[in-house]
A and B are shown apart, each in its own frame.
Chain A
Amino acid sequence: EPEVTQTPSHQVTQMGQEVILRCVPISNHLYFYWYRQILGQKVEFLVSFYNNEISEKSEIFDDQFSVERPDGSNFTLKIRSTKLEDSAMYFCASSGGLAVVYNEQFFGPGTRLTVL
Protein backbone atom coordinates (compact mmCIF):
# COMPACT_ATOMS: atom_id res chain seq x y z
CA GLU A 1 0.00 0.00 0.00
CA PRO A 2 1.42 3.41 -0.92
CA GLU A 3 2.45 5.59 1.99
CA VAL A 4 4.00 8.93 2.80
CA THR A 5 7.55 8.69 4.10
CA GLN A 6 9.56 11.23 6.05
CA THR A 7 13.24 11.57 6.88
CA PRO A 8 14.85 11.83 9.30
CA SER A 9 12.65 10.39 12.02
CA HIS A 10 14.44 12.50 14.61
CA GLN A 11 16.52 15.65 14.07
CA VAL A 12 18.45 17.41 16.80
CA THR A 13 19.85 20.84 16.05
CA GLN A 14 21.28 23.90 17.74
CA MET A 15 19.27 27.09 17.96
CA GLY A 16 19.95 29.31 14.96
CA GLN A 17 20.82 26.43 12.64
CA GLU A 18 18.99 25.64 9.43
CA VAL A 19 17.14 22.36 9.12
CA ILE A 20 15.50 20.66 6.18
CA LEU A 21 12.81 18.09 6.77
CA ARG A 22 12.13 15.76 3.89
CA CYS A 23 9.00 14.02 2.73
CA VAL A 24 8.17 11.70 -0.13
CA PRO A 25 4.42 11.98 -0.80
CA ILE A 26 2.35 9.28 -2.45
CA SER A 27 3.36 9.25 -6.08
CA ASN A 28 0.15 10.26 -7.85
CA HIS A 29 -0.89 12.88 -5.31
CA LEU A 30 -1.03 16.53 -6.25
CA TYR A 31 -1.58 18.34 -2.94
CA PHE A 32 1.02 18.47 -0.21
CA TYR A 33 0.89 19.71 3.35
CA TRP A 34 2.97 20.26 6.44
CA TYR A 35 1.54 20.16 9.95
CA ARG A 36 3.24 20.33 13.30
CA GLN A 37 2.44 19.07 16.78
CA ILE A 38 4.17 20.61 19.75
CA LEU A 39 4.50 18.05 22.55
CA GLY A 40 1.20 17.61 24.35
CA GLN A 41 -0.69 19.93 22.01
CA LYS A 42 -2.91 19.49 18.99
CA VAL A 43 -1.83 19.08 15.41
CA GLU A 44 -1.64 22.45 13.64
CA PHE A 45 -1.70 23.25 9.95
CA LEU A 46 1.38 25.00 8.59
CA VAL A 47 1.15 25.14 4.81
CA SER A 48 -0.41 23.60 1.74
CA PHE A 49 1.27 23.33 -1.64
CA TYR A 50 -0.15 22.70 -5.08
CA ASN A 51 1.14 23.16 -8.60
CA ASN A 52 4.55 24.24 -7.34
CA GLU A 53 3.31 27.05 -5.16
CA ILE A 54 1.93 27.66 -1.72
CA SER A 55 -1.85 27.65 -1.77
CA GLU A 56 -2.40 28.49 1.88
CA LYS A 57 -0.28 29.08 4.98
CA SER A 58 -0.99 29.67 8.63
CA GLU A 59 0.28 32.48 10.83
CA ILE A 60 2.86 30.05 12.19
CA PHE A 61 4.45 29.79 8.75
CA ASP A 62 6.51 32.97 8.87
CA ASP A 63 9.54 34.03 6.84
CA GLN A 64 11.72 31.49 8.64
CA PHE A 65 9.83 28.68 6.93
CA SER A 66 9.88 27.67 3.30
CA VAL A 67 8.72 24.69 1.29
CA GLU A 68 9.97 23.26 -1.95
CA ARG A 69 9.36 20.41 -4.30
CA PRO A 70 12.87 20.14 -5.72
CA ASP A 71 12.12 17.18 -7.94
CA GLY A 72 9.21 14.97 -8.88
CA SER A 73 9.17 13.03 -5.65
CA ASN A 74 10.43 15.04 -2.67
CA PHE A 75 8.67 17.76 -0.70
CA THR A 76 10.76 19.64 1.83
CA LEU A 77 10.21 22.00 4.73
CA LYS A 78 13.10 24.31 5.57
CA ILE A 79 13.46 26.28 8.75
CA ARG A 80 16.12 28.91 8.19
CA SER A 81 17.13 29.76 11.74
CA THR A 82 15.62 27.43 14.29
CA LYS A 83 14.24 28.63 17.60
CA LEU A 84 13.58 26.66 20.75
CA GLU A 85 9.85 26.91 20.14
CA ASP A 86 10.25 25.14 16.79
CA SER A 87 10.76 21.89 18.70
CA ALA A 88 7.85 19.72 17.63
CA MET A 89 6.76 16.74 15.58
CA TYR A 90 6.39 17.74 11.95
CA PHE A 91 4.00 15.77 9.78
CA CYS A 92 3.90 15.75 6.03
CA ALA A 93 0.67 14.82 4.27
CA SER A 94 -0.46 14.40 0.71
CA SER A 95 -3.78 14.13 -1.02
CA GLY A 96 -5.18 13.40 -4.42
CA GLY A 97 -7.57 16.33 -4.07
CA LEU A 98 -8.70 19.17 -1.84
CA ALA A 99 -9.61 18.42 1.76
CA VAL A 100 -12.78 20.42 1.25
CA VAL A 101 -14.02 17.81 -1.20
CA TYR A 102 -13.17 15.16 1.40
CA ASN A 103 -10.20 13.67 -0.29
CA GLU A 104 -8.30 11.96 2.45
CA GLN A 105 -4.99 13.41 3.50
CA PHE A 106 -2.43 10.68 4.06
CA PHE A 107 0.03 11.47 6.82
CA GLY A 108 3.63 10.43 7.16
CA PRO A 109 5.09 9.10 10.41
CA GLY A 110 6.55 12.47 11.32
CA THR A 111 9.95 13.98 12.07
CA ARG A 112 10.63 14.90 15.65
CA LEU A 113 12.65 18.11 15.69
CA THR A 114 14.50 19.00 18.86
CA VAL A 115 16.11 22.43 19.05
CA LEU A 116 18.71 22.86 21.79
Chain B
Amino acid sequence: AQSVTQLGSHVSVSEGALVLLRCNYSSSVPPYLFWYVQYPNQGLQLLLKYTSAATLVKGINGFEAEFKKSETSFHLTKPSAHMSDAAEYFCAVSLDDKIIFGKGTRLHILP
Protein backbone atom coordinates (compact mmCIF):
# COMPACT_ATOMS: atom_id res chain seq x y z
CA ALA B 1 0.00 0.00 0.00
CA GLN B 2 1.12 3.53 -0.70
CA SER B 3 2.37 5.66 2.17
CA VAL B 4 4.79 8.49 2.86
CA THR B 5 7.09 9.16 5.78
CA GLN B 6 8.35 12.61 6.58
CA LEU B 7 11.55 12.79 8.57
CA GLY B 8 11.53 15.54 11.17
CA SER B 9 8.36 17.08 12.54
CA HIS B 10 10.17 20.42 12.95
CA VAL B 11 12.96 21.90 10.87
CA SER B 12 14.64 25.24 11.54
CA VAL B 13 16.78 27.06 9.00
CA SER B 14 18.23 30.54 8.89
CA GLU B 15 16.89 33.05 6.42
CA GLY B 16 18.85 32.67 3.20
CA ALA B 17 19.94 29.11 3.96
CA LEU B 18 19.05 25.96 2.07
CA VAL B 19 15.73 24.34 2.91
CA LEU B 20 15.61 20.54 2.81
CA LEU B 21 12.48 18.70 3.88
CA ARG B 22 12.67 14.93 3.64
CA CYS B 23 10.04 12.54 2.41
CA ASN B 24 10.28 8.83 1.67
CA TYR B 25 7.52 6.90 0.00
CA SER B 26 6.39 3.32 -0.07
CA SER B 27 4.58 2.16 -3.13
CA SER B 28 4.09 -1.07 -5.03
CA VAL B 29 3.42 0.81 -8.25
CA PRO B 30 4.87 4.00 -9.74
CA PRO B 31 3.65 6.66 -7.35
CA TYR B 32 2.14 10.04 -7.94
CA LEU B 33 3.63 12.29 -5.29
CA PHE B 34 2.79 15.74 -4.03
CA TRP B 35 4.02 18.41 -1.68
CA TYR B 36 1.41 20.65 -0.06
CA VAL B 37 1.97 23.71 2.11
CA GLN B 38 -0.28 24.97 4.86
CA TYR B 39 0.28 28.49 6.10
CA PRO B 40 -1.02 29.36 9.57
CA ASN B 41 -4.81 29.30 9.73
CA GLN B 42 -5.11 28.56 6.03
CA GLY B 43 -5.95 25.60 3.83
CA LEU B 44 -3.72 23.31 1.82
CA GLN B 45 -1.96 24.64 -1.25
CA LEU B 46 -0.24 22.44 -3.81
CA LEU B 47 3.46 23.25 -4.12
CA LEU B 48 4.33 20.69 -6.76
CA LYS B 49 3.52 17.23 -8.01
CA TYR B 50 5.45 14.33 -9.54
CA THR B 51 3.69 12.52 -12.34
CA SER B 52 6.60 10.60 -13.91
CA ALA B 53 7.21 13.13 -16.68
CA ALA B 54 10.46 14.37 -15.11
CA THR B 55 12.36 13.41 -11.98
CA LEU B 56 13.12 17.02 -11.01
CA VAL B 57 9.91 18.89 -10.40
CA LYS B 58 9.73 22.63 -10.01
CA GLY B 59 6.94 24.17 -8.01
CA ILE B 60 5.75 27.51 -6.80
CA ASN B 61 7.67 29.93 -4.58
CA GLY B 62 11.07 28.61 -5.69
CA PHE B 63 10.59 25.09 -4.33
CA GLU B 64 11.56 21.95 -6.16
CA ALA B 65 11.66 18.24 -5.45
CA GLU B 66 13.57 15.36 -6.95
CA PHE B 67 12.12 11.89 -7.36
CA LYS B 68 14.75 9.23 -6.65
CA LYS B 69 13.45 5.76 -7.24
CA SER B 70 16.61 4.08 -5.94
CA GLU B 71 16.18 5.87 -2.61
CA THR B 72 12.36 5.92 -2.65
CA SER B 73 12.62 9.60 -1.81
CA PHE B 74 10.95 12.82 -2.87
CA HIS B 75 12.72 15.49 -0.84
CA LEU B 76 11.66 19.13 -1.07
CA THR B 77 14.31 21.83 -1.42
CA LYS B 78 14.65 25.55 -1.81
CA PRO B 79 18.05 27.19 -2.27
CA SER B 80 17.40 30.23 -0.08
CA ALA B 81 14.82 30.37 2.68
CA HIS B 82 12.59 33.38 3.14
CA MET B 83 10.69 34.36 6.24
CA SER B 84 7.45 33.86 4.35
CA ASP B 85 8.28 30.15 3.90
CA ALA B 86 7.44 29.47 7.54
CA ALA B 87 4.60 26.96 7.34
CA GLU B 88 3.70 23.29 7.63
CA TYR B 89 4.67 21.13 4.66
CA PHE B 90 3.00 17.85 3.81
CA CYS B 91 4.32 15.17 1.50
CA ALA B 92 1.53 13.10 -0.01
CA VAL B 93 0.91 10.19 -2.38
CA SER B 94 -2.17 9.34 -4.38
CA LEU B 95 -3.87 6.03 -3.69
CA ASP B 96 -6.84 5.11 -5.82
CA ASP B 97 -9.32 7.91 -5.34
CA LYS B 98 -7.68 9.72 -2.46
CA ILE B 99 -4.52 11.41 -1.27
CA ILE B 100 -2.55 9.98 1.63
CA PHE B 101 -0.67 12.61 3.61
CA GLY B 102 2.44 12.39 5.69
CA LYS B 103 2.48 13.74 9.22
CA GLY B 104 3.89 17.06 8.14
CA THR B 105 7.02 19.06 8.83
CA ARG B 106 6.81 22.48 10.38
CA LEU B 107 9.42 24.78 8.88
CA HIS B 108 10.76 27.57 11.09
CA ILE B 109 12.80 30.37 9.58
CA LEU B 110 15.35 32.03 11.86
CA PRO B 111 16.22 35.68 11.23
Contact = CB atoms under 8 A, between A and B. Distances in A.
B89 to A, nearest CB: 12
Given A41-B103, A42-B103, A43-B90, A104 B46 contact: yes
B94 A108 contact: no
Given A43-B44, A108-B43, A99 B104 contact: no
Interface string B47-91: 001010000000000000000000000000000000000000010
Interface of A: 31, 33, 35, 41-45, 48, 50, 55-56, 91, 98-102, 104-110
Contacts of B104: 42-43
A102 B34 CA distance: 9
Interface of B: 32, 36, 42-46, 49, 51, 90, 94-104
A43 B34 CA distance: 13
B96 A100 contact: yes
B36 to A, nearest CB: 8
A106 B34 CA distance: 12
A99 B98 contact: yes
A56 B98 contact: yes
Contacts of A56: 96-98
A43 B100 CA distance: 8
A105 B99 contact: yes
B97 A100 contact: yes
Nearest to B101: A43
A35 B99 CA distance: 9
Contact of B45 (A41, A99, A107): A107
